[in-house]
Structure 1
Amino acid sequence: MQLAGKHVLHAAPPKVWATLMNKDTLARVVPGISHLEETGDHTYKSTLDIKLGPVNGSFTGNLQLDDLQEPSSFTLKGQQNSKIGNANAAIKINLLPVGTNDTEIAFEGDVKLSGMLASLGQRVMGGVSNTLSKQFFANLEKELNNTTA
């Protein structure tokens, strides 16, 4: 399943970058994270509780921030496992300056699903990914508004 999208945030790229590189903030902005434990440099053990259409799932696995190009881009890699299936993702995230105080986040990547997750179909999973993306950006916007530059 392909993922792509854009969103403009009202903060400069260095502030957005710092916010996304902070483990505690990351745990608050990524929808569904109930536990995030740092296991190395930009690597984490994670637990996510997510409702996927008609199915609820608790996923455990790893998240990694890779290919870091401060403050302009990184790749979010994740491998999550659950009773209802597994998900492997690699999402390239670009932070592009817009004017002097805004940042456009553009993301593009691929998620590979197996098990019951794969059988839910593109339509259900597309709707879920759209909802989760909106929640992520709303959470990130709120977090940026609560911090000082």
Structure 2
Amino acid sequence: MQMSDTRQIAATPQEVYAALLNPDVLKACVPGATSVTGNPQDGFEASVTQKVGPVKATFKGQVTLSEMVENQSLTITGEGKGGAAGFAKGGAEVRMTESDGGTELSYDVEAKVGGKLAQLGSRIIDGFAKKMADQFFTNLQDTLEKPEAGDEGAADQAPEAEGTKKGWLGRLTGKD
């Protein structure tokens, strides 16, 4: 199963790239993720619970990042085992280009399944994989475009007090 898509995100390529390297953001964006730990250099371990047709399973697996070109592109590769349900593996080539008002993010995804999942038929699997990819990138877009609590009207407020906790995006980019 292969698919491609493009979407506009109202964030800089630097912010999008940083978000894709953050395990907390990945956990928030991957549908059904119960945990994501690790780092971009060594890879991530993830646990994801999903229902595909009549089969519900918890997949535990590895996610690695490669071909990383800072603020421009990266390749995400993952493989998970869901016990009796079978396995899922795949990858995504993600590209980010600066555009008016943010970033144009484009991706090519390829996925394969085996075991009971493969017996469901390609129409169910293809539909599920497309839905998962769309939901991931929609969640990423929502996470990046959603103002952090208290950011509305931030220009009218006094500067943050020393020691005030920043949101994840502020910590990554060094911005207040």
SS at match of 1:11: coil
CA distance, structure 2, for counterparts of residue 18 and residue 122 of structure 1: 34
| Contact 1:61 1:79 survives alignment (8 Å) | yes
Q: How does 1:48-127 map to 2 (within 5 A)?
A: 48-82=48-82, 83-99=84-100, 101-127=101-127
RMSD: 1.8
1:40 Cα offset (Å): 6.9
2:78 touches 2:91 (CA, 8 Å); kept in 1?
yes
Secondary structure in 1 aligned to 2:20? helix
- Structure 1 pair 11–40 and aligned structure 2 pair: CA distance change class (3 A): closer
Structure 1 CA distance, aligned partners of 2:40 and 2:139? 25
Aligned length in residues? 148
CA distance in 2, matches of 1:132, 1:40: 22
Structure 2 gaps of 5+ residues are 149-168
**Structure holding more strand per residue:** 1
Matching residue's letter, 1:139 = N
Question: Is contact 1:39–1:45 with CA below 8 Å preserved after alignment?
Answer: no
Paired with 1:21 and 1:40, the residues of 2 have a C-alpha distance of 6
Listed one character per residue, the Cα deviations across residues 35-86 of structure 1 (whole Å, up to 9, x for unaligned) are 1121672501111111212221210110111111011110111010012111
What stretches of structure 1 of length at least 5 have no aligned partner? none
Query: Counterparts of 2:54 and 2:71 in 1: how far apart (Å)?
Result: 38
C-alpha separation in 1, matches of 2:87 and 2:131 = 19
Q: Which runs of 4+ in 1 moved over 6 A?
A: none
CA deviation after TM superposition for structure 1 residue 141, in Å: 2.1
**1:50–1:58 CA contact under 8 A, matched in 2:** yes
TM-score (norm 2): 0.76
Taking structure 1 as the reference length, the TM-score comes to 0.89
Aligned mates of 2:39, 2:136 — CA distance in 1: 23
Q: How far apart, CA to CA, are the structure 2 residues paired with 1:124 and 1:35?
A: 26
SS of residue in 2 equivalent to 1:41:
coil
Instruction: Report sequence identity in percent.
Output: 28
